[in-house]
Structure 1
């Protein structure tokens, strides 16, 4: 058990950088393996296999987003309790979130598994692509409870300020996946099913590493009691349900994009799928930003250190700007390399070039939205995150990609998404700043009111 709230002391920029960097390493390693999956499957010279993974990944992103949402609840509640110095409450909530998460994820698998072919048809998959995507997804979805455990355990460790061990869990998953991929895909000749089996086994390894960190190192889990857990159901649900809806908006946007790309043919679907694999590898440091800023805000909110909360947001913006300048430039220089390693056809290559040249720079504004989401999820207004993300996924996606797709062709899909990120990133960041100032004003008014009451009770003190 930690003896102090480590994120309430020291440089906020250092905390943001370390938490983001370690989170990014884990995320980028995990997504890099997904990218290697795509590379291996492209070597099979089956365009349908790459498109199938693109369709399946849209649904898998939905299930992973549910796990992330529950982990957000764990991070916020545990970090806030740590900031308040109430370590027993932190342990109880960590235990209850993990237990409820396992139960819920198992129910999701039970509900979705028999409906996989219908969901893929809805997204636009057909013929051989549909068969490949179905077999891939039916294997991979069985690992959702493992993903839930790994995500929640990592969230608990981030709440404690132990970003390093949270990173180990995702690194272990990536290493196992990278080792098993070529063995199962090529040596055993299992093709796309081999890639799915490798990912499933890798997710089980993530459970072992993350569970060890939470239980053996930090001793943050007690015995789960289903009846007793209901006392924490409300605070968990208040954060988890809006966060779940927030995270569902991203797969909703991806589904809209995939369905729209299907109208341009398999070449466009393959191009969007490749770009979708490149994005988390290159911009993992930004995707990790929300999970990095959240525990810092939550611990300092529990300790009522508002000046550090403002500094944390500023530090996050500086970090995001520097990250984007470096990584967007690197992606621009590497675009020909990406086209060559994926053996991309002319139509598919055009999309990769367009994203690397123009679309990638919108991710700075996407990072502003990530920061805003961290503020609202961890400081008591998760519904704002839901509204922002659903706004971006709907108003910031469908009309824009439809208009620019009509105007520019398949490249308009990427351009429309970029414009949506700019609009909603700016709106979200302004809202988050205002909300933080509002919380600070409330705290000052409460303090003044308490002081006035105390003065009335003890006028001579």
Structure 2
């Protein structure tokens, strides 16, 4: 099951590894886009605001967990590159123990603080009930979100970016189907969106475990690997914490924008909530480059190929810069049509919400192209 990332053309290796990751990220973001689309069709601005606020809050938790899991990707990748599978087993076992404890504690704390979080982000009165319900359900699902990201990090450390794509593809189909059932047919609003997301995440974890168990690999986790080892945990956290802090700070900055929009009213909050989700969607390529560089450089460093690792970094940076320039120009051309897909009706509150969303979408990317 392990894939050797230390040979072959650098650009081709990056493309082969990154494309499944991009598709995985696309499918994962499709979760939220589907939620917002269904809310826009059946619940209006209040429902969109509730899901937008809830998703933005949950996304801070998710990117933090993903950042921490990056430490596992690097440690496992380095071990695989040096053919030290015993080290990979210990790193994976300690990661499971660490994330299990962290996710359970985090879920309990966030559930207890849910009313304060809803108030802190300045949720408009019309959306308070929906936001609170959405967050409570999603907070319960945090252990499953953590489990999926752990498994994805393990796959990528082994050089396999395709398996997470297949898993998340199935989960995405489940989520969209549940959105139509819960939001469209049953009229559950934000509660339906949250239920669909959590159930789909749970399904993705179950499928990933079955997939991992069915594949042939040199990795065999023993009970002793689950026992916390300070040296191993320190290595994982030394890499994962800076990444988690960096990505978390970016999302906190976006949350401040959400808070400001919430205080301006329901229409502005709905517009910003929609656009923040779209901007996260556009981060797919840069995020995939980050994960690709982590996995490839880890294996090459483990194999003693420092020069090739530097080539990987330069190539990935070039792809990200070119993508950022192209997407900024393209945004000015397609923003009205893109926003219009989610916003029906040219007049009244929805028309104003559509206009605000278009303006915010364009200005945000033009003022902050470095974010891409």
TM-score if structure 2 supplies the norm length? 0.90
1:286 aligns with: 286
Q: Closer, same or farther in 2 for the Cα pair 1:227/1:148, shift >3 Å? A: closer
- Once the two structures are TM-superposed, the CA of residue 155 in structure 1 deviates from its matched residue by 1.0
Deviates more, 1:335-344 or 1:45-54: 335-344
- Once the two structures are TM-superposed, the CA of residue 358 in structure 1 deviates from its matched residue by 4.6
**In the alignment, does 2:180 pair up with 1:182?**
yes
Q: Residues of 2 paired with 1:218 and 1:364: CA distance? A: 43
- Once the two structures are TM-superposed, the CA of residue 233 in structure 1 deviates from its matched residue by 2.2
- Once the two structures are TM-superposed, the CA of residue 45 in structure 1 deviates from its matched residue by 4.2
2:50 aligns with: 52
Q: Which has the higher contact order (CA 8 A, sep 6+)?
A: 2
Q: Residues of 1 paired with 2:362 and 2:145: CA distance? A: 34
Asked whether the 8 Å contact 2:81–2:299 carries over to 1, the reply is yes
1:97 aligns with: 95
- Name which of 357, 366, 370 aligns with 1:352: 357
1:230 aligns with: 229
Asked whether the 8 Å contact 1:66–1:247 carries over to 2, the reply is yes
Q: Residues of 2 paired with 1:358 and 1:125: CA distance? A: 23
Q: Residues of 1 paired with 2:326 and 2:104: CA distance? A: 41
Q: Deviations for 1:80-104, whole angstroms, at most 9, x for unmatched residues?
A: 1112221111122112212321221
Asked whether the 8 Å contact 1:320–1:364 carries over to 2, the reply is no
Q: SS at the partner of 1:263?
A: helix
Asked whether the 8 Å contact 1:17–1:319 carries over to 2, the reply is no
Q: Residues of 2 paired with 1:310 and 1:300: CA distance? A: 10
Bigger radius of gyration, 1 or 2?
Answer: 1
Q: Deviations for 1:69-126, whole angstroms, at most 9, x for unmatched residues?
A: 2311110110111122211111221122123212210111011102111111011014
**In the alignment, does 2:270 pair up with 1:265?**
no
2:347 aligns with: none
Q: SS at the partner of 1:99?
A: helix
Q: Deviations for 1:294-320, whole angstroms, at most 9, x for unmatched residues?
A: 111111122232221221122112322
**In the alignment, does 2:43 pair up with 1:38?**
no
2:63 aligns with: 65
Q: Closer, same or farther in 2 for the Cα pair 1:314/1:240, shift >3 Å? A: closer
Q: Residues of 2 paired with 1:36 and 1:333: CA distance? A: 23
Q: Residues of 1 paired with 2:249 and 2:102: CA distance? A: 19
Q: Residues of 1 paired with 2:369 and 2:301: CA distance? A: 26
1:241 aligns with: 241
1:79 aligns with: 77
1:165 aligns with: 163
Q: Residues of 2 paired with 1:294 and 1:114: CA distance? A: 35
Q: Closer, same or farther in 2 for the Cα pair 1:91/1:216, shift >3 Å? A: farther
1:134 aligns with: 132
Deviates more, 1:213-222 or 1:111-120: 213-222
Q: Residues of 1 paired with 2:308 and 2:140: CA distance? A: 42
2:277 aligns with: 277
Asked whether the 8 Å contact 1:215–1:221 carries over to 2, the reply is no
Q: Closer, same or farther in 2 for the Cα pair 1:360/1:156, shift >3 Å? A: same
Q: Closer, same or farther in 2 for the Cα pair 1:172/1:16, shift >3 Å? A: same
1:12 aligns with: 10
Q: SS at the partner of 2:229?
A: helix
Asked whether the 8 Å contact 1:42–1:343 carries over to 2, the reply is yes
Q: SS at the partner of 2:222?
A: coil
Asked whether the 8 Å contact 1:92–1:221 carries over to 2, the reply is no
Q: Residues of 2 paired with 1:364 and 1:13: CA distance? A: 24
Q: Residues of 1 paired with 2:314 and 2:106: CA distance? A: 38
- Once the two structures are TM-superposed, the CA of residue 361 in structure 1 deviates from its matched residue by 5.1
Asked whether the 8 Å contact 1:173–1:206 carries over to 2, the reply is yes
Q: Which runs of 5+ in 2 are unaligned?
A: 345-349
- Once the two structures are TM-superposed, the CA of residue 146 in structure 1 deviates from its matched residue by 0.9
Q: Residues of 2 paired with 1:189 and 1:76: CA distance? A: 44
Q: Deviations for 1:372-393, whole angstroms, at most 9, x for unmatched residues?
A: xxxxxxxxxxxxxxxxxxxxxx
- Once the two structures are TM-superposed, the CA of residue 68 in structure 1 deviates from its matched residue by 0.5
- Once the two structures are TM-superposed, the CA of residue 133 in structure 1 deviates from its matched residue by 0.2
Q: Which runs of 5+ in 1 are unaligned?
A: 368-461
- Once the two structures are TM-superposed, the CA of residue 20 in structure 1 deviates from its matched residue by 2.3
- Once the two structures are TM-superposed, the CA of residue 341 in structure 1 deviates from its matched residue by 2.3
Q: Closer, same or farther in 2 for the Cα pair 1:221/1:187, shift >3 Å? A: farther
- Once the two structures are TM-superposed, the CA of residue 221 in structure 1 deviates from its matched residue by 4.6
Q: Closer, same or farther in 2 for the Cα pair 1:227/1:297, shift >3 Å? A: closer
Q: Closer, same or farther in 2 for the Cα pair 1:225/1:169, shift >3 Å? A: same
Asked whether the 8 Å contact 1:25–1:285 carries over to 2, the reply is no
